[in-house]
């Protein structure tokens, strides 16, 4: 693989969606079956306080803390819980079912109180575009309240994957998802004025998502913001089990497809591994791919 991006294969996956943010924004994780991890001590400390109960165990979730590492809220894409693990009351869209990497929290640039909660649906669920809630953490004595719901209509065919990184200016934010009917990566820009509903579209390979599990898997931007990697589990269709490698431009939001590869079992080469999770090393030299 070019530019020293080296592939390593693991037999585990961490089912948590988390974008890189400054300070201690990501020090609390809640996911899976009432699972919680606190990283404030420098080591992950387990707790069972989380209210998320993912029936499959592989649906996305997202958590966010303040810049000092104090939990603010977390979500499974269907409901939102405050720092005391109580549901924040709101009329949530009950038709929405989050995908494998289907939930993402990002702050509004320049604001200390406004956050966006994005959701990409499960492929087999209702034909909903990307949904996002706006949450004001200053409401309800600092416990937060959701003030609006919106959709990104051009993401009508986006499922399973949603991730984010900072713009080159280190203030604005890019939110990236994957469209499967139009076969594009869609990059949305978030500025201090809010979410721009018109995405930057970048051509992507044709992936047949008529079989829901085939396109499950994670998508990640490298920490130097030069690469994007996306995994496709493949389901019962082994010829659809792929990893896509792309370049990414943090100044324009454009994704440039480079190539696709399969992970092969060294004992039985005709049987591919089914890639699901992915993560870059902090120096962006290595990318780690996991399978389930």
Dihedral sign from CA coordinates of 230, 134, 144, 75: negative
Q: With a cut of 80, say whether residue 15 has pLDDT above it.
A: no
How many domains does the structure of the chain reveal? 1
Low-confidence winner among 12-16, 115-119, 157-161 (lowest mean pLDDT):
12-16
Answer yes or no: is 32 within a domain.
yes
Coil, strand or helix: which one is 248? strand
Structural element, H or E, at residue 139:
helix 139-142
Mean pLDDT of 184-200: 98
Q: With a cut of 90, say whether residue 177 has pLDDT above it.
A: yes
Q: How far apart are CA 21 and CA 244, in angstroms?
A: 24
Range of the domain at 73: 6-291
Answer yes or no: is 1 within a domain.
no
Query: 243, 261 in Cβ contact below 8 A?
Result: yes
Question: Could you tell me the CATH number of the domain that includes residue 24?
Answer: 2.130.10
Query: 190, 171 in Cβ contact below 8 A?
Result: no
Residue 108 gets which letter from DSSP?
Answer: P
1 pLDDT band (50/70/90 cuts)?
Answer: very low
**55 contacts: CB under 8 Å, gap ≥ 6:** none
| pTM score, whole prediction | 0.88
């Amino acid at each position: 693989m070019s530019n020293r991006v080296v592939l390593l294969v693991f037999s585990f996956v961490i089912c948590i969606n988390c974008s890189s943010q400054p300070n201690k924004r990501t020090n609390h994780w809640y996911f899976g079956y009432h699972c919680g991890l606190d990283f404030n001590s420098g080591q992950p400390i387990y707790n069972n306080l989380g209210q998320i109960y993912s029936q499959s165990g592989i649906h996305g979730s997202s958590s966010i803390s303040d810049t000092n590492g104090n939990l603010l809220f977390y979500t499974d894409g269907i409901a939102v819980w405050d720092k005391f693990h109580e549901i924040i009351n709101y009329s949530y869209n009950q038709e929405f079912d989050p995908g494998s990497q289907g939930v993402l929290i990002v702050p509004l640039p320049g604001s200390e109180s406004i956050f966006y909660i994005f959701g990409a649906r499960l492929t087999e669920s209702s034909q909903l575009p990307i949904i996002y809630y706006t949450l004001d953490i200053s409401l309800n004595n600092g416990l937060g309240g959701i003030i609006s719901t919106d959709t990104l209509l051009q993401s009508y065919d986006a499922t399973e994957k949603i991730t984010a990184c900072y713009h080159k200016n280190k203030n604005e934010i890019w939110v990236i998802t994957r469209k499967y009917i139009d076969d594009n990566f869609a990059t949305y820009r978030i500025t201090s004025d809010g979410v721009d509903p018109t995405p930057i579209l970048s051509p992507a390979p044709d992936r047949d998502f008529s079989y829901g599990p085939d396109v499950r898997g994670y998508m990640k931007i490298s920490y130097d913001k030069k690469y994007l990697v996306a995994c496709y589990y493949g389901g019962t269709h082994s010829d659809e089990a792929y990893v896509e490698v792309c370049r990414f431009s943090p100044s324009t939001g454009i994704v440039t497809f480079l190539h696709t590869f399969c992970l092969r079992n060294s004992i039985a080469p005709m049987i591919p591994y089914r890639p699901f999770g992915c993560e870059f090393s902090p120096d962006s030299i290595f990318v780690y791919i996991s399978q389930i």
